Amino acid sequence: MYASESSVSGSGVNHNVVSYDYGDKKADSRKVPKFNGDLEEFSWWKTNFYSYIMGLDEDFLDILEDGVGDLDLDEEGVVVDRKKHTPAQKKMYNKHHKIRGSLVLAIPRAEYMFACSSV
């Protein structure tokens, strides 16, 4: 019997079989690839991180490279007035924070602090 078919038991009760949707599994179940600070391994880490973010959402790479467009953010990447944004802008802001969080988790704290101080 296929997962989408239903069966009727001897008691006349219809038991619907609900299939498991394997396509609904979260792509972010994999851990964020960590950069260890070794410049010789940077290219390998960059390829791994690219694959990781593309597996989460193909828009993440655009956000990472191009920024969030017309959202009004402060110096720490926090939106100034979220209530004024359209639903599309709120969705973009949410994606911005997901990719930003992944990037923060991927690099050592010392690298993050250095990057923040050099901006």
pLDDT value at residue 41: 92
pLDDT value at residue 68: 75
pLDDT value at residue 91: 87
| Count of other CB atoms within 10 angstroms of residue 107 | 19
Whether 108 and 35 have beta carbons less than 8 Å apart is answered as yes
Residues 6+ apart with CB under 8 A from 106: 32, 33, 34, 35, 45, 49
pLDDT value at residue 92: 84
pLDDT < 50 regions, the chain = 1-6, 20-25, 27-28
d(CA 73, CA 69): 10
Whether 93 and 79 have beta carbons less than 8 Å apart is answered as yes
pLDDT value at residue 5: 46
**In the chain, where are the structural domains located?**
26-117
